[in-house]
Structure 1
Amino acid sequence: MSDQGLTSLFVDPLLPRPEMTAESMRAAVEQLDASELPQFDADAVRGEPTFLPRWSLWVERNRFPAVMRRVHELELALPRTESLEESRAVAEEMSWLLHAVSERLPWTQRSTSRIGNE
């Protein structure tokens, strides 16, 4: 997928990016897919250190309908592939797309640059 094709997927978000707080993230999850709230709440109770970063990725991915449509298309295409090369191409596009989602988040910018400077 070209950079232009990728950029076209990140248009018309369903809602603004929430703040990196449990309350803001919960409100966003509720707006995007209320059926995910039990899992969100269970994760919040466990207090895992990856709780907010993981859910912020979920929210970022789900804020853009075109991104989620493409991810869903790729998920459906993968089991129908007929060769290893075709499977790898589908998996590579999905990986590339999900990585592009994560790169949009401010906190991943800091993490990536820190890792790159080591």
Structure 2
Amino acid sequence: MTAQQWEDGGPLIPQPAMTREALRDAVRRIDMANLAVLDKECNEAFDRAAETGAINPLRFFLIKWATHVAIHRWPARSAALHEAERIAGDPGATEEQFRVAMETSSRILAEAQREIGQ
């Protein structure tokens, strides 16, 4: 599957800025089921940053959720990733199916990372 096949339907929303509020709004619009998870992880990242005096927990939070949005804003890309994850976790999958699923997952994640500038 190519990137073009994943993206035929177009994105649901533009890729937001890599800020807490912009990412929260994007998740609220395209993946409401994960909004509580985003809020919980945001609070945890803030607490870790405050405890350690380091910004890395906040940075990792932003990168993780920007990547999540980059994937989920394209319904076909999201579906392809979920299918690849399903196959990769299936104990009955052949070695070839597993290999293709892992390649698909890696390609989708790499595209999302490029999209967010990472």
Give the length in aligned residue pairs.
103
Q: Distance in 2 between matches of 1:23 and 1:52?
A: 10
Q: After TM superposition, where is structure 1 displaced by more than 4 Å over at least 4 residues in a row?
A: none
Deviation at 1:86, TM superposition (A): 3.3
**Aligned residues: percent identity?**
28
Q: Give the TM-score, by structure 1 length.
A: 0.76
Which string of whole-angstrom CA distances, capped at 9 and with x for unpartnered residues, describes residues 46-105 of structure 1? Answer: 2223111110000110000110111122123231412x3432232122112221221111
Q: Work out whether 1:87 is the aligned partner of 2:98.
A: yes
Residue in structure 1 matched with residue 83 of structure 2 by the alignment: 73
Q: Distance in 2 between matches of 1:86 and 1:33?
A: 28
Moved more, 52-61 or 32-41: 32-41
- Mark the runs of 5 or more structure 1 residues left unpaired by the alignment: 109-118
Q: Give the TM-score, by structure 2 length.
A: 0.76
RCO (CA 8 Å, sep 6+): is it higher in 1 or 2? 2
Q: Distance in 1 between matches of 2:108 and 2:31?
A: 21
Q: Distance in 1 between matches of 2:83 and 2:93?
A: 12
CA root-mean-square deviation:
1.7
Question: Counterpart amino acid of 2:42?
Answer: A
